[in-house]
Amino acid sequence: MSTSIHVTLAEVAATLVLVAVAVAVSFWRKADLEADIGIAVVRSAIQLTAIGYVIEFIFDQDSLWFVFGLIAIMVVFGAFTAQRRARQVPNAFWPLLLALAIAGVTTLGLVVALGIFKAQPRYLVPVGGMVIGNAMTAAAVTLNRLGDDMTRHAREVEATLALGATSTQAAAPIVRRSLRSGMIALVDSTKTTGLIFFPGTMVGMLLAGASPTDAVRLQLILLWTLLGSVALAGLIAVTLAYRNFFTPAHQLREQPEP
């Protein structure tokens, strides 16, 4: 896996032709996404370039403390970002922060303990980024569904509480559906990987000149690792967040108007 390729700025710039296609489609069909596409392109260029320098710096330092620092920043920003998708969940930030932190640390700890990756920045930074990114998406989708369902099905939840059920029992069907929502996208894409699409890591390795066998094996490792981290993040986020809808006396809290 030591093969490396050199990508010129001209090659990067050439792909803007495909961005122009996206803008043209949006303009032609009045999707009103031209400005968003522009922002997305500029942000992706700035953010990835910046993170490229950060990663290079961390690789040069070769210290795990810098890795932990980078993961911690990703966790905090991830929790803030996911919170925006979970506006209907009261105080969603803390459940999300804990979910991403525990999912990230547990997953990275396990892959190192199992000898899958070495405890070196070169491995932990990219894997950590993938783990936190996917965990963030799963936790955000999970809490988005939780907020929607708790609002839409408040009547059923209160009817269950009225029978003397605990808040855990009353919320159980919604918690189950929310967790399923958070995990289903990755489960489905794992099912269809290799058939309908080639995942990013595998494509990257093939482009970099790795053997298809190595590319496939690394892709499987990452996909299966992500399944675990996504499940952990969704579970922790929803387990902590659903309680915020209830008082200690198992009453539904009055929710502020959205």
Partner 1 sequence: MLFGLDRVTMVRDGKVVLQDVSASIPRGANCVAGPSGSGKSTLLRLLNRLADPASGMVRYDGTDVRERDPLELRREVCLVPQLPALLEGTVEDNIRFAADLAGREPDVPRLLDLAGLDASFAGRTSSKLSVGEQQRAMLARSLALEPRVLLLDEPTSALDAGARGAVEATLLHLRERVDVSTILVTHDLAQARRMADWVVRLDEGRVVGEGHVREQLAVSG
Q: Which long-range contacts (CB under 8 A, 24 or more apart) does 101-104 make?
A: 101/72, 101/75, 102/232, 102/233, 102/236, 103/131, 103/132, 103/135, 103/139, 103/229, 103/230, 103/232, 103/233, 103/236, 104/71, 104/74, 104/75, 104/128, 104/131, 104/132, 104/135, 104/229
Lay out the site mask for partner 1 across 166-195 (x = CB under 8 A, - = otherwise).
x--x---x----------------------
Closest CB to partner 1 among 36 and 156?
A: 156
Please identify which residue in 7, 17, 48, 162 interacts with partner 1, judged by CB under 8 A.
Answer: 162
How many residues line the site for partner 1 (CB under 8 A)? 19
Calpha distance 148→138 (Å, rounded): 15
**Residue 197 beta carbon to partner 1: minimum distance, rounded to whole angstroms:** 34
Name the β-bridge partners of 199: none
258 binds partner 1 (CB under 8 A): no
Q: Which of 16, 45, 159, 203 binds partner 1 (CB under 8 A)?
A: 159
Tokens of 175: 């918690």
DSSP 193: B
**Closest distance of CB 180 from partner 1, Å:** 14
The contact mask relative to partner 1 for 117-156 (x = CB under 8 A, - = no) is --------------------------------------xx
Give the binding site for partner 1 (CB under 8 A).
155-156, 158-166, 169, 173, 249-252, 254, 257
